[in-house]
Structure 1
Amino acid sequence: MLYKTLSFTETAKRLFMTQQSVSKYIAKFEEDLGFKLFIRTHHYVAPTKAGESYYQLFSKFEEEFQRVTEKTKRYYAALYSQIRIGYLEWLEISSGISGALRRLKSENDDLRFVGERHPQNKLIELFLARHLDLIITYAEFAPKGTGIRKMKVLETPLVLLVSPDHPKVKEGATVDDFKREPFIKAAASHESNSESRARARKQCRELGFTPSEIIIAPNIESAYMATEFGQGVMVSTMLSRMSLHSELMCYPIGKQEELQCFWHEDQENPAVAKFAAYLEQAYVEQSKSRGEGESK
């Protein structure tokens, strides 16, 4: 500033400081450098050769500072204007997502939503590669890694899916009739066959199943297809489109599965954590509405 004004009085005025303070700071800086930056007389102030050199240096720094500042502003403007959500294929959760987005849009009308459905393996891969800000999937398929936050969205009833052509499908049949049938399980992302089988055996123990065979399908689509073809039975939820809209028989198991959302804890877009909270609230409100409707 002093280089531009060549006046201690004017510099002090522009910086809202006293003339003595400006003079003191310049003198201290010159002392640290070991040479003078300005020639001072009773009639004028002029830069030395050192003063000119440092002015050029600080001018370049100011230009670079402004460039970086503008670039950073554009980055955060883009970051805050978009939220990328991924959710598991076959899930019927559009109403909850719409409710959460309406609340976000009421706070930021410029917010743009990108929603993508993916198979489980692809969903996790995109999330871990930071191509998705938040994902929604079952707790069983939680992404592995550090620095990942999660929130429960809701609990949904577990059901056993069985082909309608299965010989044991008849009036009055229950889950108990199928507990020894081949058990079909979809592999999770980055999971070995032995890990998938261990996860399937664990679920069977929890549900009291003693299957004659465990069949590991490479993905959820293949698992549903194998079930349709009568190769075995499969555990799903009442959020699954296959449970809701296919011809597969659904037998209530009497237990619940958690649907959760996941995001990285170093995520800088505040809309991501807000979306998770609003999604949970949307389903709480839906549950209350259904309860009130059933009680009437």
Structure 2
Amino acid sequence: MILRGDIVNDTQIKCFLEIAYEKSFTKAANNLYITQPAISRYMAAFEKELGISLFDRTNKHIKLTEAGEIYYDFFRRFQLEFENTMEKVHSLNCKKQGIIRLGYIVGWSISSFLPSVLEKFSKEFPDISVSVECLEINELTKALTTNNLDVILTLDNSLDGIKDINKQKVTEIQKLILYSKFQKLPKKQNLTPYDFKDEIFYVIANEEAHNAELEIRNYCKSYGFVPHLKLSPNMESIFASVENGLGVTFFDTWGKNIINTPSFKYVLLDSNHEVSMAWNKNNKSEIVHVLVNEFIRHLK
């Protein structure tokens, strides 16, 4: 967009709209994850390019000038139309590419239902294929927000605080404590979480580590002990440590390929993980919604 011979960029427009909405430079800067001096510079340059004052700064409260109101209405309509256009182009690209990129957590085995989901989906969209990628939890959300995946299947609590996504709960899966056959534990038939009180509990070292630690601490507290926690760089390292009798970890019943191997054992817990599917808000493609609905139908 060219105005008065100068380029008005997207950042200036976003800052302007956010300040007008919040009526505060500070709140707008926080929402956009930039500093207040930076947002002030953007607005000063913006007003200079437009040749008018957008905000009335004569009192404590920020408000739009009459010209600012007109520009706010224009840029808001422009932003909405631009978002709608992007959605249409994205949907068109999906159809042309003929592929949906699905991601889920490394270690999960979902072959008990995924082939059935994809078979039903392919009958409705025979020209669309689905690619599958397994990643660590934090890598899944990052791939989704950077548009490297179209939809992900993940633990619901890993989506907390992630902006601009839609999510839909699809099922719950039972938690368990995974340990090794080499583990020196009390020789009894029915082990309880308390029997692991002297073991190291491995937790993956990522952005959700604090939440995972808190979850384990609270659960173990209900059994009367404080767990010994240790961070590990990824799930493969955790599985290797547990398999060799160096500690235990919290896992779930979707990890069939892991928990049913001869070197592993597990204790089922009276607690479940909520599992959700998530996709970007700007992705309103009918194809993605159909795939999500197929998962929900199969997992009810």
TM-score bucket of the superposed structures, by smaller chain:
0.5 to 0.7
Aligned to 1:232: 247
Per-residue deviation, 1:220: 1.6
SS in 1 for 2:177: strand
CA, structure 1 residues 98+114, in 2 after alignment: closer, same or farther (shift >3 Å)? same
Residue 101 to residue 179, structure 1, CA distance change in 2 (3 Å): same
Q: Does 1:158 align with 2:175?
A: yes
Q: CA RMSD in A?
A: 2.7
Relative to structure 1, the CA distance from residue 73 to residue 172 in structure 2 (aligned partners, 3 Å threshold; closer, same or farther) is: closer
SS in 1 for 2:260: helix
Aligned length: 211
Matched, 1:120 2:137: yes
CA apart distance, 1:158: 1.3
Matched to 2:150, the amino acid is D
Structure 2: 5+ residue stretches without partners: 1-86
CA distance in 1, matches of 2:220, 2:299: 29
The within-5 A match list for 1:21-170 is 76-80=91-95, 81-142=98-159, 144-168=161-185, 170=187
Change (3 A) 1:135 1:223: same
Contact kept in structure 1, 2:90 and 2:283, CA below 8 Å = no
2:169 aligned counterpart, secondary structure? strand
Q: 2:260 aligns with which of 211, 221, 244?
A: 244
Question: Matched residues in 1 for 2:179 and 2:250: separation?
Answer: 9
Amino acid at match of 1:283: L
In structure 2, give the amino acid aligned to 1:101: L
Name the SS for the 2:173 alignment partner. Answer: strand
- Kindly provide the amino acid, as one letter, of the partner of residue 283 in structure 2: Q
Instruction: State the shift of 1:148 in Å.
Output: 1.6
Please name the residue that 2:20 is paired with. Answer: none
- For 1:218, the equivalent position in structure 2 comes to 233
Residue 110 of structure 1: how far off its partner (Å): 0.7
Q: CA deviation at 1:169?
A: 5.2
1:271 corresponds to which residue?
287
TM-score in terms of structure 2 length = 0.62
Q: Distance in 1 between matches of 2:102 and 2:164?
A: 18
Aligned pair in 2 of structure 1 residues 121, 169: CA closer, same or farther (>3 Å)? farther
Match status 1:185 vs 2:213: no
Separation in structure 1 between the aligned mates of residue 138 and residue 127 of structure 2, nearest angstrom: 32
Change in CA separation of 1:177 and 1:203 when aligned onto 2, cut-off 3 Å:
closer
SS at match of 2:141: helix
Aligned pair in 2 of structure 1 residues 282, 259: CA closer, same or farther (>3 Å)?
Answer: same
TM-superposed deviation, 1:197: 3.8
Q: Which runs of 5+ in 1 are unaligned?
A: 1-71, 285-296
Residues 1:168 and 1:116: Cα distance change in structure 2 (over 3 Å): same
- Structure 2 distance, partners of 1:209, 1:236, is 20
Cα offset for 1:186? Answer: 1.6
1:256 match: secondary structure:
strand
Structure 2 counterpart SS, 1:95? coil
Q: Which amino acid in structure 1 is aligned with residue 103 of structure 2? A: G
- Amino acid corresponding to residue 118 of structure 2 in structure 1: L
| Residue in 2 that maps onto 1:280 | 296
Identity %: 22
Q: For 1:103, what is the secondary structure of its paired residue?
A: helix
In our comparison, the structure showing a higher alpha carbon Rg is 1
The alpha-carbon deviation at position 237 of structure 1 amounts to: 0.8
Contact 2:217–2:226 (8 Å) recurs in 1: no
- TM-score normalised by length of structure 1: 0.63
Q: Deviations over 1:125-144 (max 9, x none)?
A: 21121110111112243264
- Deviations 1:56-93, CA, capped at 9 Å, x for gaps: xxxxxxxxxxxxxxxx9986443133211011111111
SS at match of 1:245: coil
Query: Residues 100 and 288 of structure 2 are in contact (CA less than 8 Å); yes or no, is this contact kept in structure 1?
Result: yes
Deviation at 1:272, TM superposition (A): 1.1
Q: Is the 8 A contact 1:158 1:255 kept in 2?
A: yes
